[in-house]
Amino acid sequence: MTIRERIEAMERETLSPYACLSVNSKGRDKEEAECDIRPVFTRDRDRILHSKSFRRLKNKTQVFLTPKGDHYRTRLSHTLEVSQNARTIAKALRLNEDLVEAIALGHDLGHTPFGHAGEAILNQIYVGGFKHNEQSVRIVEKLEKDGQGLNLTWEVRDGILNHQTGAMPHTLEGKIVRICDKVAYVNADFDDAIRAQLLCEEDIPLEIRKTLGYDTKSRLDFLIHNTIINSMGQDDIKMSEECAEALKELRAFMFRNVYKNPIAKGEEEKAKAMLEQLYFYYSEHIDILPAKYLRMYDEGEDKGRVLCDYISGMTDQYAITKFSEFFLPEAWAVDGY
């Protein structure tokens, strides 16, 4: 018996009857030999962790664009917070931690530079539309590894695709990530808003604080505990009605006061204009795209789709650098006098 088979046997013996076992995966689009050490979801987690798209998250905006400070969240730190919260819940419910972690680490791979501002402008100018969750799946299926993709399991791709409000994953592990995404960004983004001196704790309506807690740490602890308690022994992941409603109200508060705050989002129009100009510049000069994207275009991929693939993969700083290169004049210099 291989190490992988022993681990799979341990899953059968110890995990909840509602857990998604590695041996029960619907598999990959392209068949491949099993690893002798790692079950399928562990391999998926590792593939995402070692991908270029994952590394680029460290230089992509979460909420505050290019903040002057080392302690604001980036898309990568948000992803890690989602992963940790989700693993805590999965462990308590005896669900598949590796599947949860793979989904969590991959759920935001498709995010653009400058956060949701970048997503909004690409969705506006590209006729086919752009959604970061769909782009995350496109990355792991097609764009990573020079067009080969990561060949992830169906369950991981399903969780990545359906992590947003308005969608629902088919596994409990995916549902955990879906809840933890909201739990993570609502609490962490408020913490960053305090750091930016946009809000203070007392700005949150008292009724929300009475239900969820009177500081960020207490709210995070309460939301995780409430999810575990209300999901224990059930084929569902949920909070109590009172808790879910309070979280919904806190999220609405964040939209009003942070996500649409003219001070916090004052630079977003500049970011949108910059990405829009990059899009049309590359459209007129598509021959300067990297070889991987040119190959996709030559093979019949829609031009707008290729442009979205390239621009959405940029980090904040790389987008600024390319914009400066194309649109800002450089100082003239010659040797001598």
pLDDT tens across 291-318, in order? 999 999 999 999 999 999 999 999 999 9
At residue 124, the pLDDT reads 98
Query: What does the block give as tokens for 138?
Result: 């496109």
At residue 263, the pLDDT reads 74
Residue percentage of the chain with pLDDT more than 70: 97
Contacts by residues 318-326 (CB-CB < 8 Å, ≥ 24 positions apart): 318/59, 318/113, 319/113, 319/114, 319/274, 319/275, 319/278, 320/274, 322/278, 323/274, 323/277, 323/278, 326/277, 326/278, 326/281
Q: Average pLDDT of the chain?
A: 95
pTM higher than 0.85 for the full model? yes
Query: What does the block give as tokens for 227?
Result: 């999810």
Q: Flag whether pLDDT at 264 surpasses 70.
A: no
At residue 260, the pLDDT reads 84
Sign of the C-alpha dihedral computed for residues 25, 28, 31 and 36 taken in this order: negative
Instruction: Give phi and psi for 23, each to the nearest 5.
Output: -70, -15
**How far, in Å, CA of 244 to CA of 125, rounded?**
35
Q: Flag whether pLDDT at 337 surpasses 70.
A: no
pLDDT tens for 68-98 read: 678 889 999 999 999 999 999 999 999 999 9
Q: Flag whether pLDDT at 64 surpasses 90.
A: no
**How far, in Å, CA of 315 to CA of 56, rounded?**
6
At residue 71, the pLDDT reads 87
pLDDT tens for 173-206 read: 999 999 999 999 999 999 999 998 999 999 999 9
Which range among 16-30, 101-115, 252-266 shows the weakest confidence by mean pLDDT?
Answer: 252-266
Which range among 26-40, 74-88, 109-123, 259-273 shows the weakest confidence by mean pLDDT?
Answer: 259-273
pLDDT tens for 91-132 read: 999 999 999 999 999 999 999 999 999 999 999 999 999 999
At residue 331, the pLDDT reads 67
Q: Flag whether pLDDT at 66 surpasses 80.
A: no
- What is the DSSP track for 263-309? TTTTTHHHHHHHHHHHHHHHHHTGGGS-HHHHHHHHTT--HHHHHHH
The amino acid at residue 110 is G
Average pLDDT in the 155-168 region? Answer: 96
Average pLDDT in the 283-289 region? Answer: 97
